[in-house]
Amino acid sequence: MTTTLELVPGLITTRDEIAAAFGCGTYQGIEPAKDAKKVFVYSDPSAGAEFGYTFDGRAEDDEYGPLYLYTGYGANGDQELKSRNKSLRYHVEDGRELHLLVAHGKVPGGGAMQQRYIGPMVVDPINPVEVRRGLGKDNKMRNALVFRLRPVAGSAPAWTDEDRLQPAAKTAIEEIDVQPKIPAQTGVKDKNAEEHTTAETMANIPGGQRKVVRREGLLMEAFKKHLTAAGHTHKTFQITLAGEVGALTPDLYDETDHVLYEAKGQTTRSNVRMAIGQLADYRRHIPKPDGLRVAVLLPSEPSPDVKDLLATQGVHLVFQTENGFAGFPLPSNA
């Protein structure tokens, strides 16, 4: 499609101008432009609370670089990975570019909202979307899909301090009874783990780390099935802390035995040390009327000294074996 509108980071434009240039809609937060092979995402953190969108904004950089969080489509009820949310999640597989804009005040002399073009983005190929608990427009709690967006490598995002996530006003702990599994797109085959996908190249995220995250995900799914087969129920928590942005979300909570688990995709000292620190942080905020226990979940048996490290810190060990999981269930007298 031929257009005279050049998408340069920092460009101040409107939804109407974007629609006229690229052939997309003007009313929704996620607007696919099929013929132009693009998906436009409109974010308005200041007004999002009205619709239950309280997770939007520029998050703190992590080990992979800059990150922007964006709440998906659906004002009421649990959000699902379909319709516009599916267009956003699978923009790479569908061969579409992703472009992020944020609200930038009203058009002078008019009522329309201006949009500041942040730049080209890509959905995080390692952890594309997370489930968070929040109020919908109907003031009822629901599951929201929070997409994790990364700048395309080599781009210069035009975000400012005003785009950053705002600290929480109060501390709150929400139970997540069911952590929905985000399905893979039908008809799209995953590439070999040793290779980089287009998204990984764009986001400049190592394929090695992707393998680790995949292993952790598979480990978690196997352990959840093991828990269910043993008659245990499980869930997790969303911990929002006053004065901080984002939320803490432990990997898994065994409701039956009152055990909090942190899983790691590699059995290394550094991973175990990280898990110990995370559990120490989480356990301070989890209700523990019967004495909360914590455990590290690993894909294989660690070294004797790492086992000793866990024991001295009061952290239980569960690891996967050919026949199930060693260390589960935890000793009843612990």
| 222 SS3 class | helix
58 and 155 belong to one structural domain = yes
pLDDT in the model for residue 193: 27
pLDDT of res. 189:
37
Q: Tell me, what's the pLDDT at 135?
A: 84
Task: Let me know if residue 3 belongs to a domain.
Answer: no
- CATH code at position 86: 2.30.280.10
CATH number of the domain residue 232 falls in: 3.40.1350.10
Q: What is the pLDDT of residue 134?
A: 85
User: How many of the other CB atoms lie within 10 Å of CB of 111?
Assistant: 6
Tell me: pLDDT of 250 over 70.
yes
pLDDT tens figures, 61-111? 887 889 999 999 998 999 999 999 999 999 999 999 999 999 998 888 777
Average pLDDT of span 31-51 = 85
Domain range for 137 is: 12-163
Three-state SS for 66? Answer: strand
Question: Three-state SS for 28?
Answer: coil
Establish if 168 belongs to a structural domain: no
Residue pair 55/144 in contact by the 8 Å Cβ criterion: yes
Domain membership of residue 184 (yes or no) is no
- Is there a domain that residue 204 lies in? no
Q: Are residues 247 and 123 in the same domain?
A: no
Q: Is residue 175 one of the residues assigned to a domain?
A: no
**How does residue 133 score in pLDDT terms, banded at 50, 70 and 90?**
confident
R_g (Cα) of the chain, nearest Å? 22
- Tokens of residue 33, six digits: 């432009």
For residues 46-66, give the mean pLDDT.
75
How much is the pLDDT for 108? 84
Q: Is residue 278 part of a domain?
A: yes
Domain shared by 122 and 219, yes or no: no
DSSP 189: P
17 and 79 housed in the same domain: yes
Q: Which residues contact 4 (CB under 8 A, 6 or more apart)?
A: 21
Q: Is residue 268 part of a domain?
A: yes
In the chain, how many domains are there? Answer: 2
Q: Cα–Cα distance between 225 and 228 in angstroms, integer?
A: 5
Domain assignment present for residue 28? The answer is: yes
Q: Please check whether residue 174 is in contact with residue 133, taking contact to mean a CB–CB distance below 8 angstroms.
A: yes
The residue out of 137, 163, 189 marking a domain boundary is 163
Residue 272 has pLDDT above 70, yes or no: yes
Q: In a 10 Å sphere around its CB, with 0-12 CB exposed, 13-18 middle and 19+ buried, how is residue 197 labelled?
A: middle
